[in-house]
Amino acid sequence: MIESPFSEGFSELIARVNNHIFVRGDSWVITDTGDVKDIVRKGERGYILTESERGGAENFVLTTPSRAILEKFLTCVYGALVRRELGYRAISSVGYTPADLYPKYHLEEVLPGRIAIVDQHGVVPVVAGGDLLTSAGDAVKISWVIDSQLSDVRASYLDRDGLPLFPGLRLDANTSLREG
């Protein structure tokens, strides 16, 4: 069996919204009632995340060399669902355009439909994909939690007020990470 890139805390988080992780071949699949949502594979340069509906084609979401960054991104995605389930307002800490990127990063288009987050030293922790709006929106969101502790990301999505990471930042009633 292949080693999961996910912590026990992540498995508990997604279980709160009736999702679970299982292994299919060389992939980890996150699903609810049979509809495949997210698929993670280990690649040469790290982890590759795709998404798919039941029977549909897989769509590239992002790639990262870091297990922690992968889990932080997915914690934001599933944390938003948990917040909705709990009746909490959605965390919309930043906008969804490149102008809203965390200040120490910038975006570069590395291929058509692929946006890289690049830090001030030229390090690329994440490449996001999809149409320009989706990839830039996902890149902007992950840029705000890349340097945070995973436990703080998880705690912020489970806290009614978004603490400890999002104090005083905007909480919108109807916006989530992927809906932007």
How high is the pLDDT of residue 62? Answer: 93
**Each residue's pLDDT tens digit, 139-160:** 888 898 999 999 999 999 999 9
Q: What is the pLDDT of residue 179?
A: 34
Domain ranges of the chain: 8-172
Q: What is the pLDDT of residues 69-116, one digit of tens each?
A: 999 999 999 998 999 999 998 886 555 677 788 889 999 988 888 899
Buried b (16+ CB within 10 A) or exposed e, 49-75: bbbbeeeeebebbbbbbebbbbbbbbb
pTM of the model: 0.85
Confidence band, pLDDT 50/70/90 cuts, at residue 124? very high
